[in-house]
Chain A
Amino acid sequence: MKFEGEHLLPGQLGHFFVLLAFISSLLSTIAYCTASFKKELVEKASWIKWSRIYFYIQCFSVFAVFAFIFIICSNHYIEYLYAYKHTSKELEFKYLLACIWEDQGGSFLLWSIWHCVLGLVLIRKSKEWEAPVMTVVSVAQLFLAMMIMGVYISGVKIGNSPFVLTRNGIDAPIFNRPDYLNLIKDGVGLNVLLRNYWMVIHPPILFLGFASTIVPFAYAYAGMQSKRFGDWVKPAIPYALFSACVLGVGIMMGGKWAYESLSFGGYWAWDPVENASLVPWLIMVAGLHTMVIYKATGHSLRASYFFILLSFLFVLYSTYLTRTGVLGDTSVHAFTEAGNAMTNLLRTFLWFFVLGSLGMFFFNYKKIPAVIKEESTTSREFWMFIGALVLFLSSMFIIGLTSIPVYNKTTGISWLVNKFNGGPLALPEDPEFAYNKVMALVAIIIGILTAVTQYFKYKNTGNKEFLRKIALPTFIAALITVSLAIFYPVDYDKKGPGFLIALYLALFATIYAVTANAMYIKTGLNGKLKAAGGSVAHLGFGLMIAGMIISSGNKKIISEERYKAFAIPMGVDPLTKQQDNAAENINLIRHLPTRMGDYHVTYLNDSAGHEKDRRFFHLLFQRKNEQTKAVTESFVLTPDVYIMKDNNMSSNPDTKRYPTHDVFTYISYTINPENNIDTGSYKIVELKKGDTAFYSKGYLVYNGPNKNHKRIIPGTPLMHVAADITVVAKDSSRYHAEPVIMVEREDPFLVKAGKDSVKLTPLDDTMYAQNLYLRFVNVDPVKETIQLGIKESERMIDFVTLKAYVFPYINLVWLGLLLMSIGMLMSMFYRLKVPGSSTIAVLLITAAWLFYMFFIATN
């Protein structure tokens, strides 16, 4: 059958380039691998020449694949499954990229693109290491190309192609018609949860972080392959710094996204997906420190190999965890069940690198040089190594807990688990606390090590000198911690005094890291900022963790029952014998101010957005002086909700940012306005000035007409007047109402020749708090009376259910991250001996960009 209107060319070309990418990466792997084993220089050079050509072809193909996917999506060619699943015509252009990485294939492609970019840099910069380093990059590219290949090789499907046609991908009778494209109006579109600028920017940064872990890994391989076991460390350190910096920023961008745009109520929840990216980062940072130790003293080379190899291997393991659906029941993230084609390929990818690299490491273990002499306890390298070890162990702890679903699915282990746990293993009642209680201890150790280690010298340090220099920062940190404890105590007693003490110790340790590193720039480096990258990064790290303790420890859910005007004692529920949980959601009735913490919050009104099904709710927050009742603070937050036709909703929060705290709110429930149709009718009463009329909850008084009313008038009527009405409810609360009547010209099409007719249009006023609608129906100038329509709605009262938080000092977290990344870049440029002026330029641009992303940008 011939189908009408299909654009088959982009798909065919795209598929061709996928295959070309596969073949060229295979060839460049073989050529680079051969080159790396050639001793003879001329021969080696000619192999490298060919390898480069294959790699260039491979890069071109990957970019071409991306270009064709982009063409298909931007033109909404919904004959392709990719476009049908991820795009829709109402989608704004800026989300087009987000559509592309929403797909599993698209994110593998993104990863592959970054490998291409890094590979091109390595070809220029890696000199004698090029052949072995690029062998590793090419193998990884080979696997990534297979992920998006979607071909059958001897009956086994390899990967999923992004160029599958909708009619081949979905089985439906509609595809028996040649004109099916005329019948499908639009694609499914981007998941509303992901319609947000973070979805555009976060995946590229995070994937650059993931992709960049391969470079130190490849250098470690090159060290073993070339038998020059220690020489790879020096050129690999800048790449490790780059990787730690980008991955760190990527992870925290995810946190910022979760905090700002998703209704998780925080930036970190120990969700498996978050953990999966944190673990490679922790190991990379551990490896970075052991590499620095090796370069300075010759110690810790074996540990450097181990950590750098594991960092990349855990990127692969994380990919496996998050892409195969194995975490299905434990994460709030929606996972795609990848299907066997993908799961098996990912397993092969993982096992290939695990067995290959670790096998090589253990095979060469004895040959890797190690210093026989032990480190002195007063040496810098000793404490750096301990710090790296603690980071590594903490990462093993995190991945150990995250992998719980894997244990339940692995035969043998699952039997053991069942026996000891009395059923398949699951995280405890408070999963976050299971992580926090261990990580608080880790923060204490790491904080103190971060503070003191730089004050030790390599090899050996005089005790006196060390104590003299460390005394002042220690004192200042203790002073800050004590004054915080007195004036701004961490208010977190939910987990008992033991954990609170641990939090205070961790707070001291991280503040100590800040003060000690800040002062080290002066006392240790004599203010030499160029060399201060490490100190700045450590300072930022300390600040970030301290900010996390302060902001999370003092987070308040102000929509909780207990922050209302009067405290309701919380007791034991007679039915369930449970301690009443603090009801965290609050109802706001339209126009009725409600107390929440220090604020009086009023739901003003709602409005529709320019996107389909999106509603914005305007909430007025006011803080009043207790004595004078004067408003001291006032702002409007506008959280919004996508309401879908089947009553499903997706909520986007809104945040008021202050330097010291954030006020954060989102709609946790709202009724669909379409299902809330009013069936009541108006009761007409005739009123003279001063007359009274009754309604079920009170009465109202007509005070007379008012031409200078405050209502906003739509259009340009000939005349308008309001009826000034006072509503007095049974609870003696008073409201002022101004229903308006307008005299307008009749629709010009209906005007009969020579006759200028007018019509009366009412503009109702609504007392939402009383569920009362008032309509100015008519006016009788002779009797001086008005006709007033009174309606008591049968419609559900207009309200929203929301949750609101106050996050204090969350900006410390973002500021700490910014400093940490800048410090890492400073250190990287210093080691690469980049001239000062270009370093400053790049640092300034990066700092400005990060500042914009984390402090200014709003949805």
Chain B
Amino acid sequence: MKRTHIVMLVAIALAIGALLMLSTDFSTYDTIDSARNKQGKFVHVIAKLDKTSPIEYDPATNPNYLAFTAVDSLGGKTKVVYRNTKPAELEHSERVVLKGKMQGEVFECKDILLKCPSKYKDDQKELEKGIGSSQ
């Protein structure tokens, strides 16, 4: 066995890996508007909960249905449906990463990642608020 053989083996391994990765449909980060133009394609959208619209969640009837409105920094707006329980702290999140597909006018969300100020212990504003309320 020559070194060249090893190199070939490694090359084959790399080729298999590369083929597998090519068959992987990588997703993109999109805005709500660009996601709307990519109907049915799995995208990541960074947005905010629209606090002026109501959150629909009635766990007693269906714990697996949550609907709310999201807005992004460019002003795009969409209804989001998440077929799972309402994540704790949704109302307090300052940013959400929505992973899912645009289906017509509704964003079918598969996974939500919340970015909450309370999770960031070092967040100055949050600490200042905390100090303020202890007076």
> Using a CB–CB distance below 8 Å, which chain A residues touch chain B?
84-86, 102-104, 166, 169-172, 174, 183-186, 188, 191, 328-330, 332, 334-337, 339, 374-377, 382, 385-386, 389-390, 393, 397, 408, 421-429, 434, 437-438, 441, 575-578, 581, 583-587, 646-651, 668-669, 671, 796-797, 799, 801
Interface members, chain B 82-135 (any A CB < 8 Å): 83-86, 88-89, 91-92, 97, 99, 103-104, 106, 108, 110, 113, 115-116, 118-122, 124, 127-128, 130-132, 134-135
CB distance from B111 to the nearest CB of A (A): 9
Which B36-58 residues sit within 8 Å CB-CB of chain A? 42-44, 46
Question: Distance in Å from the Cβ of B46 to the closest Cβ of chain A?
Answer: 7
Contact B121–A390 (Cβ < 8 Å): no
Q: Which of A188, A429, A649 is within 8 Å of B42, CB to CB?
A: A429
Contact B28 A374, beta carbon cutoff 8 Å: no
Taking a contact as CB atoms under 8 Å apart, the answer to whether B10 and A668 are in contact is no
CB distance from A553 to the nearest CB of B (A): 19
Across the interface, A174 reaches (CB within 8 A) one of B14, B25, B88, B131, namely B131
Inter-chain contact B29/A429, CB cutoff 8 Å: no
In the complex the two chains form, is A374's CB within 8 Å of B1's CB? yes
Sample of 12 A–B contacts (CB below 8 Å): A85-B122, A174-B131, A184-B134, A334-B116, A376-B1, A426-B29, A429-B99, A429-B110, A585-B84, A586-B63, A669-B86, A801-B59
A203 CB to closest chain B CB, in angstroms? 15
State the CA gap A621–B88 with chains docked (Å): 26
Given contacts A85-B121, A174-B135, is CB(A646)–CB(B42) below 8 Å?
A: no
Q: Is the CB of B84 within 8 A of A584?
A: yes
13 new A-B contacts, CB < 8 A, other than A85-B121, A428-B24, are: A170-B128, A174-B132, A389-B10, A421-B28, A423-B29, A425-B28, A426-B43, A427-B26, A429-B27, A576-B106, A585-B85, A650-B88, A669-B63
Q: Could you tell me the distance in whole angstroms from the C-beta of A268 to the nearest C-beta in chain B?
A: 17
Residues of B within 8 A of A646 (CB): 91-92
- Which residues in A have their C-beta under 8 angstroms from that of B26? 421, 425-428
Closest-CB distance, B134 to chain A (whole angstroms) = 5
Instruction: Take A328-B115, A426-B27 as given contacts and tell me if A649 and B1 are in contact as well, using a CB distance cutoff of 8 Å.
Output: no
Interface membership of B17, Cβ < 8 A: yes
A615 to B33 Cα, complex, angstroms? 43
Task: For the complex, give the distance between the alpha carbons of A791 and B104 in Å.
Answer: 47
B85 pairs with A576, CB closer than 8 A: no
Minimum CB–CB distance for A283 against chain B, Å: 16
CB distance from A171 to the nearest CB of B (A): 6
A648/B89 contact (C-beta < 8 A), A799-B60, A801-B59 known = yes
Closest approach, in angstroms, between the C-beta of A71 and any C-beta of chain B? 21
| Interface contact A585-B108, CB-CB below 8 Å | no
What per-residue 1/0 map shows which CB atoms of B58-87 lie under 8 Å from chain A? 011011100000000000000001011110
B35 to chain A, nearest CB (A): 10
Chain B residues with CB below 8 A from A799, complex form: 59-60
B29 touches A185 (CB 8 A): no
A797→B83 contact, CB < 8 A: no
Q: Which of B91, B110, B116, B130 has the most CB of A within 10 A?
A: B130
- Alpha-carbon gap, A650 to B25, bound state (A): 34
Contacts A336-B122, A585-B64 given; indicate if A424 touches B113 (C-beta within 8 A): no
Contact for B10 among A85, A188, A393, CB less than 8 A? A393
* List of A residues within 8 angstroms of B119 by Cβ: 191, 334
A86 to B122, CA, bound (A): 10
A438 to B120, CA, bound (A): 34
CB-nearest residue of chain A relative to B130?
A188
For the complex, what is the distance from the CA of A425 to the CA of B21, rounded to whole Å?
13
CA separation between A421 and B38, bound complex, in Å?
Answer: 13
Distance in angstroms between the alpha carbons of A651 and B86 in the assembled complex: 13
Contact indicator A428/B85 (Cβ below 8 Å): no
Expressed in whole angstroms, the Cα–Cα distance for A728 and B62 within the complex equals 27
The minimal Cβ–Cβ distance linking A105 to chain B, given in whole angstroms, is 10
| Chain B interfacial residues counted at CB < 8 A | 61
Candidates A103, A337, A386, A648; contact of B9 at CB < 8 Å: A386
Asked if B64 and A583 make an inter-chain contact with CB atoms under 8 angstroms apart, the answer reads yes
A166 to B128, CA, bound (A): 10
Chain B: residues with CB nearer than 8 A to chain A?
1-3, 6, 9-10, 13-14, 16-17, 20-21, 24-30, 34, 42-44, 46, 59-60, 62-64, 81, 83-86, 88-89, 91-92, 97, 99, 103-104, 106, 108, 110, 113, 115-116, 118-122, 124, 127-128, 130-132, 134-135
Give the docked Cα–Cα distance between A185 and B83 (Å): 41
Cβ-closest chain B residue relative to A650 = B88
Closest B residue to A166 by beta carbon equals B131
Looking at chain A's contact residues, the main secondary structure is: loop
Beta-carbon nearest neighbor of A169 in chain B? B127
What residues of B have a CB within 8 angstroms of the CB of A166 in the complex?
131
Q: Which residue of A lies closest to B57 (CB)?
A: A669
CB distance from B130 to the nearest CB of A (A): 6
B64–A427 touching, CB < 8 Å:
no
The answer to whether A669 touches B132, judged by C-beta atoms less than 8 angstroms apart, is no
Q: B130 touching A801 by the CB < 8 A rule?
A: no
Q: Closest CB-CB distance, A401 to chain B, in whole Å? A: 9
B14–A796 touching, CB < 8 Å = no
Which of B28, B64, B103, B134 has the most CB atoms of chain A within a 10 A radius of its CB? Answer: B64
B115 and chain A: residue at smallest CB distance: A328
Known A374-B2, A438-B20; judge A428-B84 contact (CB<8 A).
Answer: no
3 nearest A-B pairs in the assembled complex, by CB-CB distance: A423-B28, A583-B64, A334-B119
B126 to chain A, nearest CB (A): 9
CB-defined contacts of A587 to chain B, threshold 8 Å = 59-60, 63
Chain A residue nearest in CB terms to B3: A374
Distance of A171 Cα from B132 Cα, bound (Å): 10
Nearest-neighbor residue (CB-CB) of A646 within chain B: B92
Q: Within the assembled complex, what's the spacing in Å between the Cα atoms of A185 and B17?
A: 57
Report chain B residues within 8 Å CB of A376. 1
Is the pair A172, B131 in contact by a Cβ cutoff of 8 Å?
Answer: yes
- Report B-chain residues with C-beta under 8 Å of the C-beta of A375: 1
Give the docked Cα–Cα distance between A191 and B24 (Å).
37
Known contacts A174-B135, A382-B1, A576-B106: A801-B121 contact under CB 8 Å: no
B20 lies within 8 A of A437 (CB): yes
Contact A668:B128 (CB < 8 A) given known A423-B30, A578-B103, A585-B64: no
Q: Kindly identify which residue among A424, A578, A801 contacts B85, using a CB–CB cutoff of 8 Å.
A: A801
Nearest chain B CB to A748's CB is how many angstroms away?
A: 40
- Nearest residue (CB) in A for B64 is A583
Q: Chain A: which residue is nearest B31 at the CB level? A: A423
CB-CB nearest in chain B for A333: B119
Residues of A contacting B108 with CB < 8 Å?
Answer: 576, 578
Task: List the B residue with the shortest CB-CB distance to A183.
Answer: B135
Partner of B81, one of A335, A576, A585: A576
Question: Is the Cβ of B17 less than 8 Å from the Cβ of A332?
Answer: no
* A385 to B7 CA separation, bound complex (whole angstroms): 12
Chain B residues near A336: list those with CB within 8 A: 120-122
B121 lies within 8 A of A191 (CB): yes
- For the complex formed, measure the closest distance between the CB of A579 and the CB atoms of chain B, giving whole angstroms: 11
- Most chain A C-beta atoms within 10 Å of own C-beta, residue among B13, B59, B88, B135: B88
Give bound CA distance, A385 to B16, whole Å: 20
Q: Which of B26, B28, B115 has the most CB of A within 10 A?
A: B26
Quick one: closest A residue to B97, CB to CB?
A329
Q: How far is the CA of A692 from the CA of B47 in the complex (A)?
A: 58
